[in-house]
Amino acid sequence: MMKKDNFQPARRRWLKRSLTVGGAAAGVATGATALASGSESLITEVQDWNRYLGDGVDANPYGMPSKFEGEAIRRDVAWLTADAKSSVNFTPLHKLEGIITPNGLCFERHHGGIAQIAPEDHRFMINGLVDTPLVFTMEDLKRFPRHNRTYFLECAANSGMEWRGAQLNGCQFTHGMVHNVMYTGVMLKDILAEAGVKASGKWLLPEGADPSHMTRSIPIEKAMDDCMVVFAMNGEALRPEQGYPLRLVVPGWEGNMWVKWLRRIEIGDQPWHHREETSKYTDLLADGRARRFTWTMDIKSVITNPSPQAPINHGRGRTVLSGLAWSGHGTVSRVDVSIDGGRNWHTARIDGPSLSKSVHRFYYEFDWDGRELFLQSRAIDEKRHIQPTKQALREARGENSIYHNNAIQTWYIAKDGTAENVEIS
């Protein structure tokens, strides 16, 4: 079974021949093939790609992924909204490694299409309850001290389709409204200090320059804590779909508040209760009341591999389980993993930087005996928040909420290695 998958029939002559001289070595956990002595030349002789010269350094002034990586793309779901100009596409979490989301694969959510703004024409205004209303060019903003911080951004509606039952077959669709980026920009508090916030100024209303004119109310305490006004992501300028040339970063809070194409912040004395914080982005409870001001994204995790879009292809034996965990409350202190639907839990290995309000990469290596599995991950953050079960979340909030589903996710692994989104109770 494993051999069949690993070695497709006769794709290259040397593949066929190497099969005849070797075979899986005893004690080799990864399925590598032992090579008979003197057969080394087989691997160095007949490879197509070293028979001719490839492209030169003048071919790609801006590099692109390999043509063999066509599956590593954002995907939208056409039926989810009325129009692609007011919709979402999803980060391919099952194709990612580490903690950085490449800029080309960061999920998009916008409400009036992608604005194309020339940076020299863009202006950013601070007005309202300030001593001096100010207008900044992009160049003005770059004269404040710059800071570099890595944060996850998660849409409040991420995993929203799962409230009423397992629905979407792949972590790209169930959990793909999250990305993790190193931002460069300036602290919002430094900008506010330059304008001078009046004593009566308690709330902020950031506003986007795109056709949807996105606005959200943000309390001044958050602005004075860790909010940033940023112009770069992962080392280069923001991408248009991420708000080029300027966006607001609201660490740990729901993505809709991270206003893109940021053109204005008004200071007021109370929240505005605009459309996107009343008709949307509030959590409807079972009794018809709504939770409001539910800004922080709670502790959450998901197993990205194996998962429905990334089945186990190598058969039984050594298997690497990999996933992501994040919390709007700070760092993730521990991730537990279960392969039997929550009966037994194993502490996963967190690898890579552990940064506050940033995703954490976790691994759990185990020997798969070929039996059916029910994979789950359960994360715990530095403030001792722990991921709830779907059942517990529904008992607390009903089934209408859509937003802020941070429940434990289950993937069923069949004997043939394929995976499916399921619920167990």
Q: By CB under 8 A, what part of segment 370-409 binds a second copy?
A: none
Measure CA 174 to chain center. 11
Contact map string, positions 95 to 114, toward a second copy, x by CB under 8 A: xxxxxxxxxxxx-xxx-xxx
Contact map string, positions 221 to 250, toward a second copy, x by CB under 8 A: ----------xx-xxxxxxxx--xx-----
Q: Which H or E run contains 421? A: strand 419-422
Pick 275 or 394: Cβ nearer a second copy:
275
Contact 228, 357 (CB under 8 A): no
Pick 72 or 285: Cβ nearer a second copy:
72
Q: Where are the beta strands (DSSP E) in 241-356?
A: 247-249, 262-268, 283-284, 290-291, 300-305, 317-326, 332-338, 346-347, 349-351
Contact 368, 165 (CB under 8 A): no
Pick 176 or 388: Cβ nearer a second copy:
176
- Kindly state whether residue 1 participates in binding a second copy, applying the rule CB under 8 A: no
Pick 55 or 369: Cβ nearer a second copy:
55
Identify which range of 25-33, 152-160, 389-397, 414-422 contacts a second copy by CB under 8 A: 25-33
Contact map string, positions 251 to 280, toward a second copy, x by CB under 8 A: ----------x-xx----------------
Contact 183, 216 (CB under 8 A): no
- Dihedral, 409, 414, 420, 424 alpha carbons, nearest 10: -40
Other CB atoms within 10 A of residue 80 CB: 13
Pick 153 or 408: Cβ nearer a second copy:
153
- Kindly state whether residue 25 participates in binding a second copy, applying the rule CB under 8 A: yes
Among 18, 256, 301, 338, binds a second copy (CB under 8 A): 18
- Kindly state whether residue 140 participates in binding a second copy, applying the rule CB under 8 A: yes
Among 10, 53, 82, 199, binds a second copy (CB under 8 A): 53
d(CA 292, CA 280): 10
Pick 234 or 410: Cβ nearer a second copy:
234
Pick 195 or 380: Cβ nearer a second copy:
195
What's phi and psi for 332, nearest 5 deg? -95, 125
Q: Which H or E run contains 194? A: helix 188-195
Identify which range of 50-58, 246-254, 277-285, 390-398 contacts a second copy by CB under 8 A: 50-58
